[in-house]
Structure 1
Amino acid sequence: MKTVAFVPIKLNSQRLPHKNILPFGDKPLCWHVINELINVKQIDEVYVYCSDEKIINYIPKEAKFLKRNPNLDGDLVKGFDIYKSFIDTVGADIYVLAHTTSPFLKSSTISSALLKMIESNYDSAFSAKKVQTFAWFDNKPINYDLNDIPRTQDIEPIYVETSGFFMFKQDVFTKHQRRIGFNPYIQEIDEYEAVDIDTKEDYEFALKLIKTLNENGREQHV
């Protein structure tokens, strides 16, 4: 069974210019999640999917570069079209889609989810943050009864997808055009791994977080 990880990257990001190659710790932002993927022993190949060969200067040497069509860099291009282009080019039984904007994601977390897929009957997996609080949608509570308010510790938790990773078997995508299948495993991640960098404010917060983690001696990988 072949497992391939791929990280789509474009260098002309809108909200935070040059986001993927900004300094983060002692490496570029994009380097971190790619390095964690490389350290997952169940992954056979790790690809960076980018239209600009300059990205090679910012990624671990063990990662493979695959040049994509520059048309896929457009602001209105959907992620699905990028994923399909890659999957049409590189064959695998299981794909691991990861994003550079989750630099605190750990290889052990990725490996844990992947092993669940390999050893069990899950057809996909994704990273999510557990939220156990009073939640509303469309002006209505979604996980508690207004007439019988539970204790916070007894409330039904909800799980919020993060951009960290999505794993799926080949036919989940090729047959059903989905990155989450019909029997997914939800890999719960902590507050640090759930950090997602899309804006200048996100980036500045993450830099402060690195500093705090270093000062407190907490184990982390940036």
Structure 2
Amino acid sequence: MKISAVIVAKKESKRLPNKNMLPFGNSTILGHKILQLSKCKKIDEVVVGSNCEEILNYSDSLGARTARRPDEYCDEDNCSANSMIWNMCCLIETDVVVWAHCTNPLIKPRTYDNAVECFLTRGHNDSLLSVDILQEHIWSEESKPLNYNPWQGRHPLAKELPKMYKQNGAIFIQKHKQMKENRYFFGKKPYLFVTPEAESIDINTERDYRISKFFKIN
């Protein structure tokens, strides 16, 4: 069975310009992720898909296999995530896809390995996605409490509330054939894999980037 880690890295990023190639540790955000995944015992190869020549050449120099993505599948304004996933799956041949966003730079190799092992041993789940536990007092945009009643006799502590789970975007695992067919990150029966809280930060803004670098150093 061949297990491939997949990273998609487009040329441009609107919220944080040149995000994938920003310095991170002794490398870049993208380079750091390639090196992380290369250390995983459960992953056979790392594939980087991009429409940027600089990113493709850089990824190749770090030992990743590369796949050139058409520009139209890298334009999030005109191309859905579903079509992007399908296109990337069309560019690779493998048995299992570990979809890894380089913007979750603190996920450790052992966490990826644990996730792969979990996916392979849970036969009743058709996929896996990484999540954070959300156990807080949640309100809607309409100023209504969603998961507790603040006017009941006793105020419920956060630890007493039912656990909810939030996708953190760090890890998605699915069989390649199924991912290509359903054009999505996970199937209809995913296993919710809780990642360590300190590892799950997602870089979307300059603030996220600064926080991630702080945790990397410390």
**TM bucket normalised to smaller:** 0.7 to 0.9
2: distance between equivalents of 1:195 and 1:51?
Answer: 26
Q: 1:58 to 1:120 in 2, by over 3 A?
A: closer
2: distance between equivalents of 1:175 and 1:58?
Answer: 27
1: distance between equivalents of 2:61 and 2:191?
Answer: 29
Q: Is the 8 A contact 2:67 2:91 kept in 1?
A: no
Structure 1 residue 12 corresponds to structure 2 residue 15: no
Q: CA deviation at 1:60?
A: 6.1
Q: Which moved more, 1:22-31 or 1:127-136?
A: 127-136
Over residues 44-85 of structure 1, what are the superposed CA-to-partner deviations in whole Å (9 max), with x where a residue is unaligned? 221000112211325762211111112223241222222211
Q: How does 1:87-98 map to 2 (within 5 A)?
A: 87-98=89-100
Q: 1:65 to 1:177 in 2, by over 3 A?
A: closer
Q: CA deviation at 1:14?
A: 1.3
Name 1:217's counterpart in structure 2. none
Q: CA deviation at 1:41?
A: 1.9
Counterpart of 2:64, as a letter, is: A
| Aligned-partner SS, 1:14 | coil
Counterpart of 2:45, as a letter, is: E
2: distance between equivalents of 1:32 and 1:101?
Answer: 10
Structure 1 residue 105 corresponds to structure 2 residue 107: yes
Name 1:143's counterpart in structure 2. 147
Task: Output the TM-score relative to the length of structure 1.
Answer: 0.86
Counterpart of 2:146, as a letter, is: I
Name 1:219's counterpart in structure 2. none
Name 1:166's counterpart in structure 2. 172
Identity among equivalent positions (%) equals 28
How many residues end up aligned between the 2 structures?
212
Contiguous gaps of at least 5 residues in structure 2: none
Over residues 114-164 of structure 1, what are the superposed CA-to-partner deviations in whole Å (9 max), with x where a residue is unaligned? 111111212111111112211233543333234364232221111110121
| Aligned-partner SS, 2:129 | strand
| Aligned-partner SS, 2:199 | coil
2: distance between equivalents of 1:87 and 1:177?
Answer: 9
Q: How does 1:31-180 map to 2 (within 5 A)?
A: 31-55=31-55, 56-57=57-58, 61-76=62-77, 77-121=79-123, 122-139=125-142, 140-146=144-150, 147=152, 149-180=155-186
Q: Is the 8 A contact 1:128 1:189 kept in 2?
A: yes
Q: Which moved more, 1:50-59 or 1:83-92?
A: 50-59
Counterpart of 1:72, as a letter, is: Y
Q: 1:58 to 1:42 in 2, by over 3 A?
A: closer
Name 1:187's counterpart in structure 2. 193
Task: Output the TM-score relative to the length of structure 2.
Answer: 0.87
| Aligned-partner SS, 2:179 | helix
| Aligned-partner SS, 1:141 | coil
Counterpart of 1:5, as a letter, is: A
Name 1:220's counterpart in structure 2. none
Q: 1:65 to 1:176 in 2, by over 3 A?
A: closer
Q: CA deviation at 1:87?
A: 0.9
Q: Which moved more, 1:109-118 or 1:137-146?
A: 137-146
Over residues 86-129 of structure 1, what are the superposed CA-to-partner deviations in whole Å (9 max), with x where a residue is unaligned? 21121222111111111101111111111111112121111111
Q: CA deviation at 1:173?
A: 2.3
Q: 1:184 to 1:60 in 2, by over 3 A?
A: farther
Counterpart of 1:125, as a letter, is: L
Contiguous gaps of at least 5 residues in structure 1: 214-222
